[in-house]
Structure 1
Amino acid sequence: MAQKPGHSRLYAGTELRALRLSQGLGQAAMAARLGLSVSYLSQLENDNRPLTAPIAARLAKLFPLDWSDGRAAAARREAALKAVFDDPLFDDLERSSRMARAMEQQPALAELLIRLHTAWRDTHRQRQIADEALSSGVPGATRLPWEEIRDWFHEAGNYIDPLDRAAEALAGTLGPLPAGEARLAAFLKERNGVELREMEEGEGEGVLRRFEAARGLLLLGRGLPPETRRFMIAHQIGAQNLADELASVLDRAALPSPEGRRLLTAGLLNYAAAALLMPYGPFRRAARAMRHDIDRLCQRFQTSFEQTCHRLSTLQRPGERGIPFFFCRVDMAGNITKRHSATRLQFARFGGACPLWIVHEAVAIPDRVLVQLAETPDGVRYVSMAKGLVKPSGSYARPPRRYAVALGCEAAHAQEFIYADGIDTAKRGTPIGISCRLCPRTGCDQRAFPPSDRPIAVDPNLREFVPYRVL
């Protein structure tokens, strides 16, 4: 069986040599510290021999800070190289043991391949954006501020490191997790002089929260679920205590419009609120231990189903990454109102998602979890979970908001995703696409539009489910 690069042995000559030079050591001195011969060390540094576990342990003990960085770089390269060769683009490539050894022994070559593959994926994504802009009917149109911020979060990987770390540190001052509403409100009052009150009957129709800085009041709408109330308080705690981190991120974003800056501010404060209620380290550990069981995580952190799904999609801290998930929220009309993907699946920027995706069925069936094994045109299989949710309006005169959230990962991570239990990921999944205008499938009975880059043929004497054939 063909061998994929980067799974069995670790060649870390570049990192080992860089470590020795950073310590100001010659080969003889370094070899003596490690209990090795100079020739053995030379073979390691030239990637003629792999690094053994005992030597790696010795390096970690002697140089705990500096060597951890080297190991992290090697581990990152190994994971990135695996992602490259897992791309269906290389399915017909014969992967020999000689290729595997070349990738292991030549880190610079491996890095070059990773960069080339990343550039190819980025070019492909840009083509999708161009196609979708054409399909929107407004070629060359400037992005709206809302789209600008949505794309900003996507390009940031949906992980904002300085804000996430600052919120995690702030959460540590609140005491044991989860911090209940009373503790959050007391913190806001004692630390920031802001008092929490509920709006009076009939006050602020349709308003969820209002902050009155002059009076030092945070007013919450009546009838909000407990999870929403805690989130609103956490939002205000972030605004009061993470101003420096927030300003730093905003300045680096350099957004062209005032509306975009205000929208990003709101989005970053929502991000900070989630990071405060679900601090990165504890949340990531709990998610792994519970195999990403969202209901159990909701109970553990006293958060809503949507809040928990969204937080799972942000676990992209370097060196402590979670499972790469995609996450989205879809309304009753099929519009994607929230979206992010750390996987190879990319959502359409315009229009709705593929009608064969289970999330559309979930909208119509609230409070029931649906699962699906799906396969995109590039041959990648995904396991996804979708659940329909209803947000009460608090009044018969105002219809409740109905939508569905979906969370999924590539089938390779199925063992860590409880919703994949009972699914045979080796089988072919439901054939889904990004959107009809971008989907190359020729035999789909639920096409709404032909693909934008393929010709069609229409036969007036033949009528099938779709009134044209994709050529």
Structure 2
Amino acid sequence: MARRTGTRLFAGHELKALRQRAGLGQAAMAARVGLSVSYLSQLENDDRPITPAVSEAFARTFPIDWNGDAAGDNERRLAGLREALADPLFAASEITPQTLHRMVEQQPLFADQFVRLHDAWRRTEERLQLVDDRIASGVPGDDRLPWEEVRDWFHDEGNYVDSIDRAAEALAGELDAEPLPEALLAHALKHRHGVDAVIAASDGTGEDGGLLRRFDRARGLLTIGAAQPPETRRFMMAHQLAQLEFADAIGAVAGAAQLRAAEARPLLSVGLANYAAGALLMPYRRFRDTARALRHDIDRLCQRFGVSFEQACHRLSTLQRPAERGIPFFFCRVDMAGNITKRHSATRLQFARFGGACPLWIVHEAVAIPDRILVQLAEMPDGVRYVSMAKGLVKPSGSFTRAPRRYAVALGCEADHARDFIYADALDTRNVEAATPIGVSCRLCPRRHCDQRAFPPAGRAIAVDADRRDVVPYRLA
């Protein structure tokens, strides 16, 4: 733990641990942060205190690690202020590192209130965007479908459910295998809950034609469709084990949720069991540390934990445990028609809840190109840039008579985290001109010049010139 002497902060142990986790020598670390090797050595040996300017340099270079290993309340306040002030809302402000540190040292309560106020403002903006999205799309009132309610509940929870995540991590520690094999999951079901798991082929017709999982409680029998790939079969077993093992925890969380539709609560229970299954197959600390070591290389994570590409991407978007956060990612799944069927975002980017996403986003191209990874540097109207990775996937149906499911998943983070996201290596993230300008959706996007626009933005007048025709047949007034 860093120690403070008067107003001076010594953090040699934290700096050395950070460098070792990053796999860097002193020379490489010094070059990355912009220090001399001798100065870094003095900092690591606690011969010199760390100054506000140097602390900010480490925070910029290692935003997750340095904030995560911060020393005490003041460093956590600094991390919160840095995140709030990174909002484009404050783009014109010129607050120096020294000013930030003085604010935290001299006005800690004000710093806390500022961070809370900014968080409340962001949430209000998201709610306004939801209202605008609903009005622009002609959706009356709060007519959310039950699964939309559940989807928004997970978003409001920050895509992280602490009690269930920790319980799943503890159970994974008991089972003690990586990856968890089918045989071990089947053994746990049998010996912990008296449930037999069988893999059964289907004739491809009738109600069982697309069977993934069926649980007969009276007989204690779990049937899993044989047409599913091994990763899906493991997930189905993990789901059933989590449903039985964490029934009380899932019931408590679902029971406390503020939901309107009667069908939403059982849907939330299913969603929580799915969440627990992912947390069981990919235990929080082990998965987070491995992901960081591999620079979030999805294919290598799939091999290490025996999960599918989609499961690994989804799990990365849930690593939001306080004081142990992963990189803030957004994740979504898009079908062939452009519908967003899954979405989670720990970033400032929020997806449209009604209608399609921006046609310039790389995920739409990925749907048509299965098993190939596409990357993109994109910029939202607020100026925030994101690195996106998208891959088209095909889920087998098990029969010629049933069409396979085709879709794409996308995972991305803000460009500030590009160094820790292997897919950014193929992009020139420093080139402002290289970013593709995208928006949330056409109805919410304020961009005046976009050849891909399908609809004018809500609330904006259009001008039509009968003597001129461009790609888009109107101009925004």
Q: Aligned letter for 1:82?
A: R
Which residue does the alignment assign to 1:449? 455
Rg larger in 1 or in 2? 1
In the superposition, the TM-score normalised over structure 1's length comes to: 0.85
How far does residue 326 in structure 1 lie from its aligned partner after superposition? Answer: 0.3
Q: Aligned letter for 1:353?
A: A
Q: Aligned letter for 2:461?
A: P
Instruction: Report the secondary structure of 1:173's partner residue.
Output: helix
Which residue does the alignment assign to 2:439? 433
How far does residue 99 in structure 1 lie from its aligned partner after superposition? Answer: 3.0
Which residue does the alignment assign to 1:466? 472
Q: Deviations over 1:327-376 (max 9, x none)?
A: 00000111000001100101011111100000000000000000000000
Mapped to 2, the partners of 1:296 and 1:420 lie a distance apart of: 16
Cα–Cα, structure 1 residues 144 and 387, in superposed 2: closer, same or farther, change >3 Å?
same
Q: Unpaired runs of 5+ in structure 2? A: 16-67
Instruction: Report the secondary structure of 1:349's partner residue.
Output: coil
Mapped to 2, the partners of 1:69 and 1:178 lie a distance apart of: 28
Which residue does the alignment assign to 1:213? 217
Q: Deviations over 1:101-151 (max 9, x none)?
A: 432322222112212222221222121111111022133142211110000
After superposing the two structures, state which structure 1 stretch, 222-231 or 74-83, moved more. Answer: 74-83
How far does residue 169 in structure 1 lie from its aligned partner after superposition? Answer: 0.4
Instruction: Report the secondary structure of 2:388's partner residue.
Output: strand
Cα–Cα, structure 1 residues 328 and 457, in superposed 2: closer, same or farther, change >3 Å?
same
How far does residue 74 in structure 1 lie from its aligned partner after superposition? Answer: 3.2
Q: Deviations over 1:358-417 (max 9, x none)?
A: 000000000000000000000011001000000011111111100000000000001100
Instruction: Report the secondary structure of 1:51's partner residue.
Output: strand
Matching of residue 394 in structure 1 with residue 398 in structure 2: yes
Which residue does the alignment assign to 1:24? none
Cα–Cα, structure 1 residues 304 and 436, in superposed 2: closer, same or farther, change >3 Å?
same
Which residue does the alignment assign to 1:167? 168
How far does residue 72 in structure 1 lie from its aligned partner after superposition? Answer: 4.9
Task: Give the % identical residues.
Answer: 63
> May I ask how many residue pairs the two structures share in their alignment?
418
Which residue does the alignment assign to 2:144? 143
Matching of residue 424 in structure 1 with residue 424 in structure 2: no
1:11, 1:104 within 8 Å by CA — same for their partners in 2? no
How far does residue 71 in structure 1 lie from its aligned partner after superposition? Answer: 3.9
Cα–Cα, structure 1 residues 242 and 397, in superposed 2: closer, same or farther, change >3 Å?
same
Matching of residue 52 in structure 1 with residue 25 in structure 2: no
Which residue does the alignment assign to 1:6? none
How far does residue 296 in structure 1 lie from its aligned partner after superposition? Answer: 0.2
Pairing partner for 1:297 from 301, 304, 308: 301
Instruction: Report the secondary structure of 1:258's partner residue.
Output: coil
How far does residue 69 in structure 1 lie from its aligned partner after superposition? Answer: 11
Mapped to 2, the partners of 1:143 and 1:160 lie a distance apart of: 22
In the superposition, the TM-score normalised over structure 2's length comes to: 0.84
Root mean square deviation, CA, Å: 2.1
Which residue does the alignment assign to 1:268? 272
Cα–Cα, structure 1 residues 450 and 282, in superposed 2: closer, same or farther, change >3 Å?
same
Cα–Cα, structure 1 residues 393 and 201, in superposed 2: closer, same or farther, change >3 Å?
closer
1:77, 1:111 within 8 Å by CA — same for their partners in 2? yes
1:72, 1:319 within 8 Å by CA — same for their partners in 2? no
Instruction: Report the secondary structure of 1:262's partner residue.
Output: helix
Q: Deviations over 1:270-309 (max 9, x none)?
A: 0000000011011011101100000000000010000000
Which residue does the alignment assign to 1:382? 386
Q: Aligned letter for 1:100?
A: L
After superposing the two structures, state which structure 1 stretch, 418-427 or 88-97, moved more. Answer: 88-97
Q: Aligned letter for 1:51?
A: L
Mapped to 1, the partners of 2:134 and 2:249 lie a distance apart of: 34
2:3, 2:11 within 8 Å by CA — same for their partners in 1? no
Which residue does the alignment assign to 2:52? none
Q: Deviations over 1:40-80 (max 9, x none)?
A: 7xxx4xxxx243348999xxxxxxxxxx9994543432222
Mapped to 2, the partners of 1:221 and 1:404 lie a distance apart of: 23
Q: Deviations over 1:235-277 (max 9, x none)?
A: 0100111111111111221423331011001100000000000
Mapped to 1, the partners of 2:416 and 2:463 lie a distance apart of: 38
